[in-house]
Amino acid sequence: MSETQPRSAAERDLRLLSLDHFNVPVRDLEVARRFYCAVLGGVAIMEPNWRRHEAGRVRGAHLDVQLFNDQGHINAYWQPWGQPLPDQVFPHRAFRLASATKLDEMMGRLEEAGVPRLLVTRQVAEQGAVVPVALYFRDPDGNQLALQCDAYPFGPMVHVGAFDPTLQYYPWREWAAVAASGGVPRGRR
């Protein structure tokens, strides 16, 4: 007798184990290194192989950065021929943080590096009430990123509702110039 009911992926043992990696296009791998390592706290785990690129065997190169506590990592893929548009919200990559303290720490690092950001919740709350939030920002190449926190104190800096992604735009050239000298841009005065 054949089965008439479809079986779930779990029943068929078709579950994915974990995130391995995902790619973001970047114009300059050193700029990406400064942003993903110096600002976001990642660690470079694989350097680009320029010999294969120079030999004409591949069109690009990538820098792998460990951003998570587990095996998943991000590939900053050198792609100088095209980038996301400034008003593009999707695709975006979202990361979960453990606490409001960690989110505050990341906001401070982004502010110090001059990266525009917007803290958003979907619900109105009283001052100090705990709400779920998302911190939206972009890397120097315009890739949309978000940090999620399930419990953050509501206050005047928390925007309620949707956001305008163009508020997060900043000139890539500023980052490229400073990264070339080994640093990251500091906050604008």
pLDDT in tens, 145-172: 889 999 999 999 998 987 666 666 666 6
Domain match, 126 and 163 both: yes
pLDDT value of position 188? 41
Which residue stretches of 24-81 are H helix? 29-33, 50-54
Count of domains forming the chain? 2
Domain that holds residue 27: 9-80
The reply to whether 132 falls in a domain is yes
pLDDT value of position 123? 86
Give, as one character, the DSSP assignment of residue 114.
T
**Mean local confidence (pLDDT), 110-128:** 90
Domain match, 75 and 34 both: yes
Examine the fold and report which residue of 56, 80, 104 is the final residue of a domain before the chain moves on: 80
Write out the H or E segment, with its range, that includes residue 175. helix 172-180
d(CA 83, CA 54): 22
Examine the fold and report which residue of 64, 80, 96 is the final residue of a domain before the chain moves on: 80
Which of the two residues, 153 and 114, has the higher pLDDT score?
Answer: 153
Pairing type for strands 43-46 and 92-96 reads: unpaired
Q: Residue 163: what residue type?
A: F
> Model pTM?
0.75
User: Which CATH number covers residue 125?
Assistant: 3.10.180
The reply to whether 178 falls in a domain is no
Question: 3-state DSSP helix/strand/coil percent for the chain, to nearest 5?
Answer: 20, 30, 50
Examine the fold and report which residue of 60, 80, 100 is the final residue of a domain before the chain moves on: 80
